[in-house]
Structure 1
Amino acid sequence: MAVGLAIAGEVGQYNGRMTLFVIISCMMAAIGGVIFGYDIGISGGVTSMEPFLKKFFPEVNIKMKSDTKISNYCKFDSELLTSFTSSLYISGLVASLFASLVTRAYGRKPSILAGGAAFLASSALNGAAMNIYMLILGHLLLGVGIGFGNQAVPLYLSEMAPPKYRGAINNGFQFSVGIGVLSANLINYGSEKIKGGWGWRISLAMAAVPASMLTLGAFFLPETPNSLIQRSTDHQIAKKMLQRIRGVDDVQAELDDLIKANNISKNIKHRFKKILERKYRPQLVMAIAIPFFQQVTGINVISIYSAVLFRTIGFGESTSLLFVVLTTGVVRTSSTFVSMLIVDKFGRRVLFLAGGIQMLVSQIMVGVVMAAQLGGRGGVSEAGIFFFFGGWVAVMTVFVYLFLPETKNVPIEKMESVWQEHWFWRRIVGDSSKDTKMEAP
């Protein structure tokens, strides 16, 4: 408790407030989250539209109209369709590796700009697609945009936000993702009703609207003080930017900490070797475990394939899209908004644990419904994937409860104290803390 109070006091030493300049800059950057959510939501919707399937995946469309003895689940079993959806993640994975280098060497703005340009190009290709090759190429470009945008935007938001509002601002990216998913679901629901079979083009091409906003807005975004310090020895530029975004003149304490952290980072010769050291073991584990658990919760499966899942258990095309709007759209956006309001009050662990319990219950419920509805047509085996996700959610929840300490109001440079107070991690970092004390004057 004493450590927590000391840390909170040091955070309070930073002057500043939430300024209109920061709000506008973060809202503009967070459009990257809107695009990511939109493209996740739109993919699942269009792959359940009959005109889209008839043009690009005729074998799936034929299965849908074939003998009902064929499992509804198997009607969507297509390697080409899987290639279309998975191409986004393959290109996104590769692009993210290059994005981190660009972000560090040239700043956050160029990465956001590159992401917006890739999003814009992908929306043009997908909306005008005449064959499967154009469609997959557009999806590959979409992955490039996600790789750059998802790498740079959360970092930008975190560095621009005042320390005491950092949790809420960071959640702004996830809220933007929810807005994107909801918008995609609404557009899918409306475009599916367009006669003539070209409504799917509107769904895919409408991604150009937020993509244009992000691309144009990136030209006017200010660089973060952290980025300016990393790439320049003239710290007065960073100080002026810090004064502007904090709304006060006295920002020396925060500036000194940023410069100190940057100098320490530059003095590390072998960064990947350094992170493997014993005293950094907790950070390494969390950096790997938390994103891993996020992926195996099944949220992306629900978001992308929700319309297909509803059709699989017997709903019609229009009804499936309506259910998607109500479930993954409205519920996700509303819950994210609530989390933005309470994250800096109740902390990160509370949201992790509450979210884990809710996801576990929902995955089990979806699995049971799938098994019951599909019955003897392979329902149990198909529903098993949701029990698989539910198992990982349970593991994640236990992991968070046992091994993840609260980080509310804790600056990054003070996290070592948190690990030293934790019941488990102090056994790992204990030796390093003793070394630090011995070296102190």
Structure 2
Amino acid sequence: MGYSARIASNPYIVGSFACIGGGLFGLDISSMSGVLNNDSYKSTFGFPNPGQQGAIVAAMPAGSLIGALAVTKLADKYGRKPTVILSGMIWVIGSILQCAAVNRGMLVVGRIISGISVGLASAVVPIYQSEITAPAIRGRMVSLQQWAITWGILIQYFIQFGSSYINGTASFRLPWGLQMIPAIILSAGMTFFPESPRYLFDCGREKEALQVLADLHGGGDTNNDLVVLEYEEIKQQVYFERTEGAKSYLDLLKPGNPRRVMLGCCLQMWSQLTGMNVMMYYIVYVFQGAGLTGRRSNLIADSVQYVLNVAFTVPAIIYIDKWGRRPMLLIGTLGMGFWLFLVGGIQGRFGHWADVDGSAVWVIENNDAATKAVIVCSYFFVCTFAITMGPVSWTYPAELYSLKVRGKAVSLATAANWTFNTALAFAVPPGLDTIAWKTYFIFGTFNFAAFIHIFFMYPETVGRSLEEVEEIFQQGHVFTAWKIGKDVGKKTLQDVVEKSKDLPTEKRTDSMEEKHSV
């Protein structure tokens, strides 16, 4: 096997490279946060008021909603890999329009097109990663999606920061143009990597699927025990689903599926309602309200937050398959709610309405201790999200569904993310402009509500194959998820081979039992 072939068959490299799609999301987030107080940006686009700025920011998640829903067709019809490649191509088109924008309308159109790209990538990349990785490292690989987002935010923000020293429109056009580079790398590079083995099997390309599994998980050996186990599980699942007829959206309503669809959609909803994107999109406004004066000081304080976001995602990537999904979600929602209530309480106690640059702003003035407390609590909030909800919100939905509905269900879950992302992008600037510090109490309450929902209804999925997850939801426990032990649904190679004997004779491929002694 040549050097390039070894790279293309390494699950860590394959999964990590696909994460560039997540990085596009991060690039877009900080492409706006870094220009909100840029005078050239404001004059070029007509000094947008809070409502207009909210609409500009919301254009991207609105486009992402469209892209995420499109995955329901594209991922199943054309494959996971071509959909990732397409997302990179669309991003380039959107970036060109943003870079050349001369008015708000053109900027909004460019952001919508870029959003379609992000929606495609954010839905299909976790599917692709979950289907090419072994259960023992799946959480780690899918959580790389969140790390890529944090890197995208950080890199774009520092490009924005450096460009802020440039006079004129180049201060925002340069960063918007440079963000095309990773998308070009993504689309070109994905042509060298394999398609998802589960998608290949579903298309009848079973020998090719077996070889991809062997290359990814067995060093090219089709007799490897893990390869045999995964192949048999996929075969059983695909054959069973074929007996139920062609795929359709009605499959999402069949027994056992509605609950899982709602779990995935709600988790993505909660990930937005935690308030994290408020801290990402509008951190300039947050620190302005805290009393941090001076454009450069604000930008520097913002950059610390983005560095922390990258750094504290690393422990989650390393230990997500050891800690489990439930503990991370439960601890995270409690912690984030606590920090947001502290921010709101400090703002409410020490702040007041004041005129800042011609606008009424709730701000803390002449109180360094309160200003620093708000900034530190904001940092702790971001660290808590980065090490808990951030990576799990992408990993968990990708693990929930059977092959037959995975493309549609994950895209719906991601669409829920973008639906609430869009709504919040619209709502937060007017919210901070009218109810000010009470906005933080609203998001803090959402976090506590998420804790209750997760505690009662979200079972643990760590360490199980995608097919073993099916067994979890056959146990019932709709409102008693904490009772589901880590051994539920676990299968050995012997179990899988025995079950394969029950497949209809005419639908069985060459018996894996004959080829592999157990």
Q: What's the TM-score, normalizing by structure 1?
A: 0.83
CA distance in 1, matches of 2:243, 2:347: 55
Q: 1:245 aligns with which of 194, 216, 228?
A: 216
CA distance in 2, matches of 1:226, 1:20: 15
Rate the CA distance shift 1:94–1:116 in 2: closer, same or farther, 3 A: same
Q: 2:467 aligns with which of 410, 413, 418?
A: 413
Q: Indicate yes or no: 2:51 matched with 1:78.
A: yes
Equivalence for 1:14: none
CA distance in 2, matches of 1:423, 1:133: 47
Rate the CA distance shift 1:99–1:358 in 2: closer, same or farther, 3 A: same
Equivalence for 2:105: 133
Q: 1:172 aligns with which of 133, 136, 144?
A: 144
Code of the residue aligned with 1:336 in structure 2: it is T
Q: 1:389 aligns with which of 424, 435, 443?
A: 443
Equivalence for 2:133: 161
Q: 1:323 aligns with which of 301, 324, 332?
A: 301
Code of the residue aligned with 1:286 in structure 2: it is L
CA distance in 2, matches of 1:227, 1:147: 20
8 Å Cα contact 2:95/2:110 also seen in 1: yes
Q: Indicate yes or no: 2:241 matched with 1:265.
A: yes
1:262-341 aligned within 5 A: 262-269=238-245, 271-314=248-291, 315-327=293-305, 329-341=306-318
Equivalence for 1:256: 232
8 Å Cα contact 2:456/2:480 also seen in 1: no
CA-to-aligned-CA distance 1:20-72 (integer Å, 9 cap, x gap): 622221222111111111111221111221210111032x4xxxxxxxxxxxx
CA distance in 1, matches of 2:251, 2:450: 27
Equivalence for 1:45: 34
CA distance in 1, matches of 2:229, 2:442: 48
Code of the residue aligned with 2:242 in structure 1: it is K
Q: Gapped runs of 5+ residues in structure 1?
A: 1-17, 61-75, 430-440
Q: How many Å apart are 1:405 and its aligned residue?
A: 2.0
CA distance in 2, matches of 1:254, 1:124: 43
CA distance in 2, matches of 1:418, 1:130: 54
Which shifted more, 385-394 or 195-204? 195-204
Rate the CA distance shift 1:264–1:145 in 2: closer, same or farther, 3 A: same
Equivalence for 2:428: none
Rate the CA distance shift 1:122–1:369 in 2: closer, same or farther, 3 A: farther
Partner SS, residue 382 of structure 1? coil
Code of the residue aligned with 1:77 in structure 2: it is P
Code of the residue aligned with 1:147 in structure 2: it is G
Rate the CA distance shift 1:149–1:201 in 2: closer, same or farther, 3 A: same
Code of the residue aligned with 2:317 in structure 1: it is M
CA distance in 1, matches of 2:207, 2:282: 50
More helix by share: 1
CA-to-aligned-CA distance 1:341-399 (integer Å, 9 cap, x gap): 11111111121122112211222233234434641457482122211111110011122
CA distance in 2, matches of 1:127, 1:283: 41
CA distance in 2, matches of 1:211, 1:370: 40
Rate the CA distance shift 1:417–1:239 in 2: closer, same or farther, 3 A: closer
CA-to-aligned-CA distance 1:225-283 (integer Å, 9 cap, x gap): 0111122x231111111111112322222112112222233333475444435544542
Q: How many Å apart are 1:311 and its aligned residue?
A: 2.9
Q: How many Å apart are 1:421 and its aligned residue?
A: 6.8
Instruction: Determine what percentage of the aligned residue pairs are the same residue.
Output: 24
Q: 1:182 aligns with which of 154, 159, 183?
A: 154
Rate the CA distance shift 1:89–1:369 in 2: closer, same or farther, 3 A: same
CA distance in 1, matches of 2:27, 2:443: 23
Rate the CA distance shift 1:90–1:196 in 2: closer, same or farther, 3 A: closer
Question: Matched residue pairs, number?
Answer: 395
Equivalence for 1:363: 340
Q: Gapped runs of 5+ residues in structure 2?
A: 1-6, 355-360, 363-433, 485-501, 503-518
Code of the residue aligned with 1:116 in structure 2: it is G
CA distance in 1, matches of 2:335, 2:343: 12
Equivalence for 1:216: 188
8 Å Cα contact 1:268/1:274 also seen in 2: no
CA distance in 1, matches of 2:67, 2:150: 23
Equivalence for 2:198: 226
CA distance in 1, matches of 2:133, 2:464: 14
Q: How many Å apart are 1:185 and its aligned residue?
A: 1.9
Equivalence for 1:235: 206
CA distance in 2, matches of 1:83, 1:24: 38
Q: How many Å apart are 1:312 and its aligned residue?
A: 4.0
Partner SS, residue 375 of structure 1? strand
8 Å Cα contact 2:134/2:465 also seen in 1: no
Rate the CA distance shift 1:332–1:254 in 2: closer, same or farther, 3 A: same
Q: How many Å apart are 1:317 and its aligned residue?
A: 1.8
Equivalence for 2:508: none
CA distance in 1, matches of 2:330, 2:8: 32
8 Å Cα contact 1:188/1:321 also seen in 2: no
Rate the CA distance shift 1:264–1:254 in 2: closer, same or farther, 3 A: same
Rate the CA distance shift 1:423–1:228 in 2: closer, same or farther, 3 A: closer
CA RMSD of aligned residues (A): 2.7
Partner SS, residue 412 of structure 1? coil
CA distance in 2, matches of 1:277, 1:369: 49
CA distance in 2, matches of 1:292, 1:111: 24
Q: Indicate yes or no: 2:15 matched with 1:26.
A: yes
8 Å Cα contact 1:91/1:143 also seen in 2: yes
8 Å Cα contact 1:282/1:425 also seen in 2: no
Rate the CA distance shift 1:316–1:368 in 2: closer, same or farther, 3 A: farther
